[in-house]
Structure 1
Amino acid sequence: MLNKIIQFSVKNKLVIGVFTLLWIIYGVFEVTRLPIDAVPDITNNQVQIITTAPSLGAEDVERLITFPIEQAISNIPQLKESRSISRFGLSLVTIVFADDTDVYWARQQVAERLQKVEIAENASIPEMAPATTGLGEIYQYVLKPQPGYETKYSLEDLRTIQDWTIRRQLLGTPGIADVATFGGKLKQYEIAVNPSRLKAQNLTIKEVFTALSSNNENTGGAYIEKGPTVLYIRSVGLTRNIKDIQNIIVKNTQAGTPILIKDIAEVKMSSAIRYGALTTDDIGESVGGIVMMLKGENANNVIVNVKKRVAEIEKILPKGLKIEPFLDRTKMVDNAIGTVQKNLIEGALIVVLVLVLFLGNLRAGFIVASVIPLAMLFAIIMMNTFGVSGNLMSLGALDFGLIVDGAVIIVEAILHHIHSAKKYKGVDTISQEEMDKEVTGSAGRMMNAAVFGQIIILIVYLPILSLEGIEGKMFKPMAQTVAFAILGAFILSLTYVPMVSALFISKKVSHKPNLSDRIMAKLEGYYERGLSKALQVRKSIVIGAFVLFGIALVIFSRMGGEFIPQLEEGDFAVETRLLLGTNLSTTTETIQKISTALKNKYPEVEKVVSRIGSAEIPTDPMPIEGGDMIIVLKDKSEWTSASSFPELADKMTATVKEIAPGVTTGFQFPVQMRFNELMTGAKQDLVCKIYGEDLDKLAKYAEQLGAISQTVKGATDLYVEKVTGMPQIVIDYDWAEMAKYGIYVSDINQTVNAAF
């Protein structure tokens, strides 16, 4: 079978030439479609459910929102696990499905279950987070006033522009799942009721709520016929400005005098209570956004589309504003793909040099070397077919020595037979027909050996293809890409290599040893002498080999191990925590002080942007006493304070401790941190969870475990999650006293809710 394919390839050179040309054209086309990213996406298959309830405490959120949702989704097919976070005013439930589950089917199942959940009245409708992954936050930016316009735009103005101009424009970009707003102040009308005036008019806060809700709505009245036409009826009752709100009637007195909102309250523009902020090292508080990519999209293409849309949006922004990115996936992708590109080019050059040197034939060397790009094109075609992205693991795993193995065997056999065959002794040139016969015969004889070698290589990668879970997502692309490339090289060895060898290898027969022959003769001489001496001391050689093997085992047992080496993404993401119960203003001031100090002290720092608390889409539900500092660094070649990322992180940690004692920091890379959080619910590399019913005991055991962890060599950036100790003002009702005055709990709750 294989010999017939080789014969066909040599006889029908035009057919194989056209086949190769089509191979190249289709391969180049597929290269433009290959999804490019830095690393494989190892995020598990999950759906997040977000519910906000600004007036509920953590215990009430857990009891009234989180628990009912967890009960409702507990019987969904293919569910692996679920975990939740209940904070003041926020519930986040994460549901993890099996890896082979279609994420959109999973979201449909979750949506059906959520319709049956009864949620507290003062909570929002549960919503699913965007269908994105740990690699989804591809573009993060800050909306900044340009020099000279710092005082023109308030945080309310910036937030309004972000929500109603930038976000709405970005949502139309292909491949975007959503855009989360971070920081700023959400503009709203505030009605500050004066308790004394309210009491003087004998009114309750409930009546104020009723008046406001009853005087802010539109409706319609179908239509009426007037002559040959119809007139559609529409009422416009929505309030449009402060004056409209001020003139809303609350109640009429006994004398018939209307009591208006302006009689009992002050109406003004204000902002909603904030649960997050965004700061930069130069201007302080600002407004920004996080662009989240849809799961399964091509990150490279989506980033290009986002940048084009941002350039268009900047043209319609008010004068003096600009969109400044601070975290762009392009940087990380370029770093990773640049490393792969450099290694592949260097590897290819080394392979070509060795081939030319040892084959002793320039044409033969380039014929074998040409298999490398052709096999890579085939691998890319197959990667697109099977949904494998181009990244550090997949493309970086390619070994050109393995790819050209079969071609080397065939070409070397052709050259050897032509120059050593007795029938060509005294012949200086052979004809094309004789060359075709030699290529067919030599390739046919050696093809079995080439195939056997390639099969052995493929068998080595079979165990990797059986991996599942996170390990499978990380290492399967490597095995698949290598297998695709070797399969491509095998096809080329049967078709392209025999055809091009018969066509381009020189038909002149040289009977003198060339440079390669002389080098190989010397190497063979050295080897024979060394082998002869080794055979004289067989026992010593065997004993020495076993001793070295034993030493290697001892060294190996003492080596550290990790799942994968950390990818240096180019920037730092620093999880920063203050004391439990710290307010948003104090957190913002402290993190701003740290950011400014790091920027001024370390010339490696280009900018520092801090995300404090939660975003508008709280997929990363940080409390208001915590935040993530994104430290954007210059190229490593420009560093002066440190030579490595760990060294720079250690120095920055020491600086933070000097500036703000008691602040806990954890230095990681942005994508690494996001992966950790989505897979385990925590941002640290190693997480220990303790389960139980009593929160006080859990907190006690957590502190004990933290103390033990500090004694472990190599443990840094230790953080113990606080589940108790949040400062609260608790209002306990006296039911007997309430009964005396005829007051309902709901009335008091409404008053408390309105007052704070």
Structure 2
Amino acid sequence: MNLTQIALENNRVTIVVLLVVVLLGLAGYQTMPRDSMPPYTIRVASVVTSFPGAGPERVEALITSKIEEVAQELPELKTVTSESRTGLSVVSVQLKQEVPPEELQAVWDRLRRKIDTIRSDLPEGIRGPEVKDDGIGVVYGIVIGLTGDGFTFAELETYAKDLRDDLIKLPDAAEVRISGIQEERIYLQFNDARLAELGLSAQKIKNSIASTNIVFSGGEVSLEDERLVLEPTGSYADLDDLGRTLIAVGKDGSVYLGDVTRIVRTYETPQQRLVKINGQPGLSLSVALSEGANIIKLGEEIDQLVALHQARLPLGITLNRVASQDFEVEKSVANFTNNLLQSVAIVLLSMLIFLGLRTGLVVASLIPMTIVATLFVMGLLDLGLNQVSLAALIMALGMLVDNAIVVSEAIVVKMEKGTDAKEAAIESARELAVPLLVSSLTTSAAFLSFFLAASIMGEMMGPLFSVITIALLSSWLLSLTMVALLAVFFIRVKRQASQSEKSTFIGRLNGQYKELLLKALAHPYSFMGIIAGLFVLSLFGFGFLPFIFFPDSERNLLTVNLNLPLGTKIETTTARVERLEAYIADSLLVSKNRQRGVTDWATFVSEGPPSYDQGYQSGEANSGYAHMLLNTSSGDDNQWVIDRLDAFCFRSFPDAEIRVSRLAGGGGGSDVAVRITGPDPNELFGLAERIKQKLNEISSAQNIGDNWGPKIKKVVVDIDQSKTQNAGLTNQDIALSLQTALTGFNTGAFREGDQSLPIVLRNESSQDVDVRQLESINIYAQGSGKNVPLGQVAQIVPQWQLAKIKRRDLYRTLTVTCDTKSGFTAQDITDEFIPWLEEDSKSWKPGYRYELGGESEQSSEAMSAVVAKLPLSGFTILALLIVQFNSFRKTFIVLSTIPLGLIGVIAGLLIFRSFFGFFAFLGLISLAGIVINNAIVLIDRIQIELNQSGRASIEAIVAAAQQRFRPILLTTCTTTLGLIPLYLGGGLMWEPMAVAIMVGLLFATVITLLFVPVLYKILFAVKN
């Protein structure tokens, strides 16, 4: 008893089960997670160490190199990169993609333990090293801006923290981060001459504060049966209390701290960071989505909460969205859902037209049932709705109809021959169950490499395999049960009705196909020569296709990254940003008179925001850096805005490196990158200049730069040790006096509620000191109490130094980068640039080499893991075919159809002026699965004709081909027509895949219907 017989004999149970699946599927759809793309794991951690005052080369030698060496000991390590700059070391440790997510924490813990073993070898006075593995790869997709006209930063911070406390309570929110907070300080500003007059020093003031401002327990005392805790007062209650601190002067005298310093409570100066919302200073709150949650639902919850807070905030405080990934996901899911519904409607209509009303309805009923069943299983497996899973459903749409077409066709044929409807269904299922199962499994096996690939690409695209497999297996199961049941109840046929009577149009096509097939069979080798020629021609045409691995995002959001030389004052960076903001407000802001442009924006100076999209990653703080986030009127208007911003920045900021761009579709980075490795920085700079000069000659290149930046100035205080000793000074006296006079140093903390504000002692003119005044700074001798001008014991020597030193796998590495201009691809640059680079590198000194990064490296890394698993996919398909046919020749026939798909794919991409990249490759894999499916059912029918009909071999081939003509043709039509909405509405990302499948399938179907019978004839030596 087969599955179909069970379903027919228990038809009421079958109907109830189907209804339950429908209800559960629809219910699950409402609660499924929704996000832009499937989640993936970033296998990167950073080790951050602060070394105040040390130059890049000293940081590199004393800290960075030692951390890199222990990181190299990790067997899971893929690459270690680092950046050493003044006062800071950042080492990035990237693990191999094969490391399972659940093992990452153990690896990072081992790294921490290894770093602990070298702490004693690191310099004193450093902060860290700290391994940061939390938050890397987390996307804070919803960003809220908070501004307040006339309100202080402290007041804004209070309101922001209140909102944060409520946001983090939302069930779908994982984390909330506030950006732009201005830290408060208590500054004790002194006059150098006044302290010298009293014989006081900064260190003496610090000691007095430290001995007064204490929070220590006084122990315990007994009182009858109790032990009471003694709590001595000591910490400062208010600023007046701080001012009353006594400082000893001379032998018996004293003075109040408030009499020798001016006590000021204010924000840290100079500013360390700044956030501006639409040009107005403010704060931002970034919200991350919980794993497996629904970002659309989170966005709705946030909107309600923001509206509630806005209603009770004082007048002048404004809350507004800065970045809204939930809007983008909602639009994306809605578009894909709309595409899916359009595809369903097109396929349903196609079935009714080609199969007639009754048969068309029976076959078409499979589509919504399969989709609902697929959604039900997806919910059980925690597969959410996103661009990938929805695209998989659209891709599977045409394939899953094939099972119902073949089953219903077989039932109809048997009924026409006089077989009872129920018996026809049972016999058809007996014949087709295994071939259809094998064809479904081979189709899904084509996507197996994406599921097994140990890479980010595998994690992102793995759901393709899962969803398509679920859909095809659901289709197979429903075809043998529901479709067979409906066919028995509803399909009525006339006995011995001819094919042309059922469908005149398809009947005529079938007749023409027979004539063409007979000609091909009559001249098999000539036909195979034509196919081989088309295949070679397609390979030649492949060279004319542009290559874009991942197109940039079409989201209505642009980014502006402004980089000034390291060490640039934040005030200078802010001034440049304000000029740019003024231009945006005046010339690009959407208004009644300007329908396209920028709708709103946010600016982050010195520190970038937390990652708000997969295409953006924030870096370490830098006072010469600013990041702007521009929301535009439409994704179609992005290029219009980019062109005008590029032109303005080119005119207005010749000394700044400014990049205006869309969000990167493939995770960020430059289009073209060349890494130069070698020991001598000056030699690296020379090679980089030659490369940049060549890139400047290429018309398609723009935004040319490097990741080291120009050298920057530094001032060396060259201490004369003999003069220092004669003056009764020490090196520590000089360093401490300079720090006090120029930046100030921490003398304690002022506690207020849950806040702890640093108390900083500094010279009242510290912010105004010019480099030419350094020699006149008084150095206080701790031993003698005397003041000595710095110029008497040291020389001030200006020098140039490296802004930063980048390393990769223990070697100094300078990377030259550039982007492509609109209308060009990275391939356009590399085709002209790489031959020159190969020739030029032959003249480089020994020890210097280059390697390519950018898009070419990203594509090869992403595809390598997928390609590495393709043999396993191929072996799975081969094993299934061997099991199905028990014949090497038949298996060879099926597998030989795979390359034929390339003919149509390349032709389609050229005709539609599209490009080849990851999604076109995805379409090629999908096409291979469909073509294999067609070949299986065709060869299986040939075998049935040979075994059951007793025909001569050539007649069996023709009869089998004609009987499978309509199912194969209908599968091609439904798949092609069903992908039209994805082509029209899927954007640049999905368009190449849709073109590859649609046009490739049209070509492959025509060729396969002829190729398989002809090759069968050749391999099995069938005579005419």
Assess same fold via TM > 0.5: yes
Aligned to 2:241: 244
Task: Tell me: CA distance 1:62–1:24, structure 2 relative to 1, closer, same or farther (3 Å).
Answer: farther
What is the aligned counterpart of 1:417 among 414, 419, 433?
414
The question of 1:20 aligning with 2:15 is answered no
Aligned to 2:283: 287
Aligned to 1:204: 201
Aligned to 1:498: 484
- Unmatched runs of 5 consecutive residues or more in structure 1: 424-433, 637-642, 677-682
The alpha-carbon deviation at position 402 of structure 1 amounts to: 0.7
The alpha-carbon deviation at position 329 of structure 1 amounts to: 1.0
Q: Which amino acid aligns with 1:667?
A: V
- Unmatched runs of 5 consecutive residues or more in structure 2: 589-595, 611-616, 744-1024
Aligned to 1:329: 325
The alpha-carbon deviation at position 743 of structure 1 amounts to: 2.8
Once residues 524 and 637 of structure 2 are traced to their aligned partners in structure 1, the CA distance between those partners, rounded to angstroms, is 47
What is the aligned counterpart of 1:612 among 605, 613, 617?
605
What is the aligned counterpart of 2:141 among 138, 141, 152?
138
Provide, for residues 542-565 of structure 1, a one-character-per-residue CA deviation record: whole Å limited to 9, x for no partner: 776555544433221121212233
Once residues 75 and 245 of structure 2 are traced to their aligned partners in structure 1, the CA distance between those partners, rounded to angstroms, is 52
Is the CA contact 1:246–1:261 (under 8 Å) kept in the aligned structure 2?
A: yes
Once residues 647 and 249 of structure 2 are traced to their aligned partners in structure 1, the CA distance between those partners, rounded to angstroms, is 66
Provide, for residues 360-400 of structure 1, a one-character-per-residue CA deviation record: whole Å limited to 9, x for no partner: 134x4344334334433444455556665433233213320
The alpha-carbon deviation at position 461 of structure 1 amounts to: 2.4
The question of 1:358 aligning with 2:357 is answered no
The alpha-carbon deviation at position 353 of structure 1 amounts to: 0.9
Once residues 572 and 217 of structure 2 are traced to their aligned partners in structure 1, the CA distance between those partners, rounded to angstroms, is 49
**Identity fraction in percent:** 21
The alpha-carbon deviation at position 258 of structure 1 amounts to: 2.2
Is the CA contact 2:141–2:324 (under 8 Å) kept in the aligned structure 1?
A: yes
Is the CA contact 2:597–2:641 (under 8 Å) kept in the aligned structure 1?
A: no
Is the CA contact 2:78–2:96 (under 8 Å) kept in the aligned structure 1?
A: yes
The alpha-carbon deviation at position 584 of structure 1 amounts to: 1.2
Q: Which amino acid aligns with 1:199?
A: A
Aligned to 1:395: 390
The question of 1:274 aligning with 2:267 is answered no
The alpha-carbon deviation at position 730 of structure 1 amounts to: 2.6
Once residues 514 and 658 of structure 2 are traced to their aligned partners in structure 1, the CA distance between those partners, rounded to angstroms, is 62
Q: Which amino acid aligns with 2:180?
A: G
The alpha-carbon deviation at position 153 of structure 1 amounts to: 0.9
Once residues 122 and 158 of structure 1 are traced to their aligned partners in structure 2, the CA distance between those partners, rounded to angstroms, is 34
Is the CA contact 1:57–1:88 (under 8 Å) kept in the aligned structure 2?
A: yes
Once residues 20 and 581 of structure 1 are traced to their aligned partners in structure 2, the CA distance between those partners, rounded to angstroms, is 68
Once residues 382 and 111 of structure 1 are traced to their aligned partners in structure 2, the CA distance between those partners, rounded to angstroms, is 41
Once residues 735 and 169 of structure 1 are traced to their aligned partners in structure 2, the CA distance between those partners, rounded to angstroms, is 59
Aligned to 1:195: 192
What is the aligned counterpart of 2:671 among 668, 685, 688?
685
The question of 1:346 aligning with 2:334 is answered no
The alpha-carbon deviation at position 744 of structure 1 amounts to: 3.0
What is the aligned counterpart of 1:562 among 548, 557, 570?
548
> SS of the residue aligned with 1:569?
coil
The alpha-carbon deviation at position 178 of structure 1 amounts to: 4.2
| TM-score normalised by length of structure 1 | 0.85
Aligned to 2:627: 628
What is the aligned counterpart of 1:213 among 210, 214, 238?
210
The alpha-carbon deviation at position 154 of structure 1 amounts to: 2.9
Once residues 45 and 456 of structure 1 are traced to their aligned partners in structure 2, the CA distance between those partners, rounded to angstroms, is 32
Is the CA contact 2:553–2:663 (under 8 Å) kept in the aligned structure 1?
A: no
> SS of the residue aligned with 1:573?
strand
Task: Tell me: CA distance 1:338–1:520, structure 2 relative to 1, closer, same or farther (3 Å).
Answer: same
Is the CA contact 1:359–1:365 (under 8 Å) kept in the aligned structure 2?
A: yes
What is the aligned counterpart of 1:39 among 24, 37, 40?
37
Is the CA contact 1:335–1:569 (under 8 Å) kept in the aligned structure 2?
A: no
Q: Counterparts in 2 of 1:165-204, with a 5 A limit?
A: 165-174=162-171, 176=173, 178-204=175-201
What is the aligned counterpart of 1:596 among 572, 579, 582?
582
The alpha-carbon deviation at position 267 of structure 1 amounts to: 0.7
Once residues 337 and 542 of structure 1 are traced to their aligned partners in structure 2, the CA distance between those partners, rounded to angstroms, is 45
Once residues 436 and 357 of structure 1 are traced to their aligned partners in structure 2, the CA distance between those partners, rounded to angstroms, is 26
Once residues 173 and 57 of structure 1 are traced to their aligned partners in structure 2, the CA distance between those partners, rounded to angstroms, is 45
Is the CA contact 1:82–1:94 (under 8 Å) kept in the aligned structure 2?
A: yes
Q: Which amino acid aligns with 2:191?
A: N
The alpha-carbon deviation at position 474 of structure 1 amounts to: 4.1
Aligned to 2:643: 650
Once residues 589 and 515 of structure 1 are traced to their aligned partners in structure 2, the CA distance between those partners, rounded to angstroms, is 80
The alpha-carbon deviation at position 325 of structure 1 amounts to: 1.6
Once residues 561 and 604 of structure 2 are traced to their aligned partners in structure 1, the CA distance between those partners, rounded to angstroms, is 10
Q: Counterparts in 2 of 1:116-131, with a 5 A limit?
A: 116=117, 117=119, 122-129=125-132, 131=134
Once residues 652 and 209 of structure 1 are traced to their aligned partners in structure 2, the CA distance between those partners, rounded to angstroms, is 51
Once residues 362 and 49 of structure 2 are traced to their aligned partners in structure 1, the CA distance between those partners, rounded to angstroms, is 63
Provide, for residues 492-524 of structure 1, a one-character-per-residue CA deviation record: whole Å limited to 9, x for no partner: 23333334444x525686998898523323433
Task: Tell me: CA distance 1:607–1:748, structure 2 relative to 1, closer, same or farther (3 Å).
Answer: same
Aligned to 2:864: none
> SS of the residue aligned with 2:716?
coil
> SS of the residue aligned with 1:697?
helix
> SS of the residue aligned with 2:706?
coil
Is the CA contact 1:578–1:664 (under 8 Å) kept in the aligned structure 2?
A: yes
Q: Counterparts in 2 of 1:193-592, with a 5 A limit?
A: 193-255=190-252, 257-272=253-268, 273-283=270-280, 285-293=281-289, 299-300=295-296, 302-314=298-310, 317-362=313-358, 364-380=359-375, 382-383=377-378, 388-398=383-393, 399=395, 400-418=397-415, 420-422=416-418, 435-502=421-488, 504-506=489-491, 517-527=503-513, 548-592=534-578
Aligned to 2:826: none
Once residues 556 and 22 of structure 1 are traced to their aligned partners in structure 2, the CA distance between those partners, rounded to angstroms, is 49
Task: Tell me: CA distance 1:560–1:500, structure 2 relative to 1, closer, same or farther (3 Å).
Answer: same
Is the CA contact 1:130–1:178 (under 8 Å) kept in the aligned structure 2?
A: no
Provide, for residues 656-680 of structure 1, a one-character-per-residue CA deviation record: whole Å limited to 9, x for no partner: 223333433323334648x33xxxx
Once residues 654 and 313 of structure 1 are traced to their aligned partners in structure 2, the CA distance between those partners, rounded to angstroms, is 41
Q: Which amino acid aligns with 2:135?
A: T
Once residues 654 and 121 of structure 1 are traced to their aligned partners in structure 2, the CA distance between those partners, rounded to angstroms, is 49
| TM-score normalised by length of structure 2 | 0.64
Is the CA contact 1:197–1:263 (under 8 Å) kept in the aligned structure 2?
A: no
Is the CA contact 1:253–1:259 (under 8 Å) kept in the aligned structure 2?
A: no
> SS of the residue aligned with 2:151?
coil
Provide, for residues 592-617 of structure 1, a one-character-per-residue CA deviation record: whole Å limited to 9, x for no partner: 22233134323321112222222598
Q: Which amino acid aligns with 1:628?
A: H
> SS of the residue aligned with 2:141?
strand
Task: Tell me: CA distance 1:590–1:17, structure 2 relative to 1, closer, same or farther (3 Å).
Answer: same
Task: Tell me: CA distance 1:132–1:23, structure 2 relative to 1, closer, same or farther (3 Å).
Answer: farther
Once residues 36 and 524 of structure 1 are traced to their aligned partners in structure 2, the CA distance between those partners, rounded to angstroms, is 45
